[in-house]
Homo-oligomer: A and B are copies of this chain.
């Protein structure tokens, strides 16, 4: 039987010595662990970017996976450290919103990582990823119960992502992030749009846009919307960059109006 899966999502930078140290600690604590890099290229200290990444990736992994998420501008301050269990997955990271996607799942359980005997000592006050989060993640991946790593809490910091607003006949959201191709993801769930409005039309930054099924259906250079592969409305340009086309990314307003009845 293959060893426990632990994924890593950080802003340490690809090829950072910090990532290697975290891996060394994980493998020292749990030699059978199988490590998967989600990304280390998140913009430094960008909690929202980490949330968007986690939203798109966490639930593709097998049940039982442990997701270690370290974007931690408040390292060494009084911010708490969390473990969350939701939808058969375990999440470990700082209490700064970065685990918001996990916390928002129905039935999510949350504990405050308040058992120093589980940490790696001395705990470097600048590197909880290595000395606090990694050892606890290894213990949880090895089978420790959530109750054994900390006290249950109910006031964890929720997602920092702006929520979409759904009204009777329209929904308002915004662009959250761009991928390397310049495609833009938003906070508007395609399933929810369909449930609420049946059919609908989108405008981005005030401009009505065509809906396409895939990039190939768009005309070259046209800005279009489509159902993104992560289940959220996506803004794209065929063989081009929607991010460049719009000149900015985060916060670009997106409106969807039901075209039924």
Q: What residues make up the interface of A, taking CB atoms closer than 8 Å to B?
A: 2-3, 5, 7, 12-18, 20-21, 23-25, 27-28, 31-32, 35-42, 44-45, 52-53, 56-57, 59-62, 65, 73-77, 124-127, 130-131, 179-181, 213-217, 226-230, 234, 236, 239
Contacts and interface: CB of A to CB of B under 8 A. Distances in A.
Given A15-B40, A17-B179, A126-B226, 15 more contacts: A14-B14, A15-B41, A17-B39, A17-B57, A20-B36, A20-B38, A20-B56, A20-B60, A21-B229, A24-B65, A28-B61, A77-B214, A124-B227, A126-B229, A131-B229
A131 to B, nearest CB: 8
A212 to B, nearest CB: 9
A167 B89 CA distance: 54
Most chain B C-beta atoms within 10 Å of own C-beta, residue among A2, A14, A15, A127 = A15
Contact of A216 (B56, B75, B124): B75
A80 B77 CA distance: 48
Contacts of A57: 17, 20-21, 24
Contacts of A17: 38-39, 52-53, 56-57, 179, 230
B124 A229 contact: yes
Contacts of A125: 213-214, 226
Contacts of A181: 44
Contacts of A38: 15, 17, 20
A35 to B, nearest CB: 7
Contacts of A52: 17
